[in-house]
Amino acid sequence: MMFKSTDINPLKILPGIVTITLFVMSYLGYKAEGLILLAGIILICSAEVFRAKHNPFNSIVSVFGLFYVALPFLLLTKIIYYEQFNYIIYIFILIWTCDSMAFFGGKFLGKHKLSAISPKKTWEGSVTGLVFTLIASYLFYYFSDGKLTLIDAIVLGVLIGVFSQIGDLFESLFKRKLNVKDSSHIIPGHGGVLDRFDSLIFVTPLVFIYLTYFKNII
């Protein structure tokens, strides 16, 4: 949908098969995501050679889609398995808090533009979103009965408060450069599916890295 105005026609079926394979193998407990991704990249690039209209950017965009969309959701399924604290609800609430409060902060306080990518976003709105994200994260810590530490609340609050907004801007950059209003029409009036998950796509890998390599709990 997003590339209709260009001569780029990324593959759809093969990346879909690779994505489904990733999720199935992960569900069955096989730790072979890296090998599946590598095999998927090779297959996608190979398939482009046999298409009627050759364009190397087709395979580049198809591979990018695996990392931009499929991989974050795969990591999200791994975070679900941690039972001591519900990080999924935590992530979603913090993203929604940041998005909502950034909107209101920008509406009532906004004076300085944050980025040319999205003229309506302001520094005041961005800072408001970050502050309330940290407050929401602290409330999770306060009521978590020790399952979430104060350090976790601060680090994850900052990560989510900053990169959820960057994820939103990154997707807006795509649409602006491709001259499209919506990433799809599956959800009418909401800018497309990616608009609902652009923040999550950026936040999830960072939360996964923190929980895996700094907390060693996944």
What one-character-per-residue DSSP string does 97-166 give? HHHHHHHHHHHHH--SBS-TTSTT-BHHHHHHHHHHHHHHHHHHHHHTTTSS-HHHHHHHHHHHHHHHHH
Looking at the structure, do residues 97 and 179 belong to the same domain, yes or no?
A: yes
Cβ neighbours for 200, distance < 8 A, ≥ 6 positions apart? 72, 76, 91, 92, 95, 164, 167
pLDDT tens digit sequence for 87-135: 999 999 999 999 999 999 999 999 999 988 888 899 999 999 999 999 9
Q: Which of 10, 41, 70 is the last residue of a domain?
A: 70
Domain count, the chain: 2
Whether the pLDDT of residue 156 is over 60: the answer is: yes
pTM: 0.86
Instruction: Tell me whether residue 75 is in a domain.
Output: no
pLDDT tens digit sequence for 14-43: 999 999 999 998 888 878 888 999 999 999
Q: Which of 31, 47, 70 is the last residue of a domain?
A: 70
CB count within 10 Å of CB 174 equals 16
Looking at the structure, do residues 177 and 218 belong to the same domain, yes or no?
A: yes
Looking at the structure, do residues 104 and 60 belong to the same domain, yes or no?
A: no
Instruction: Tell me whether residue 154 is in a domain.
Output: yes
Please report where in the chains the tokens 């990324």 appear, as a residue. Answer: 10
Domain residue limits at 19 = 1-70
Looking at the structure, do residues 96 and 203 belong to the same domain, yes or no?
A: yes
Instruction: Tell me whether residue 77 is in a domain.
Output: no
Looking at the structure, do residues 48 and 126 belong to the same domain, yes or no?
A: no
Looking at the structure, do residues 174 and 210 belong to the same domain, yes or no?
A: yes
Looking at the structure, do residues 104 and 201 belong to the same domain, yes or no?
A: yes
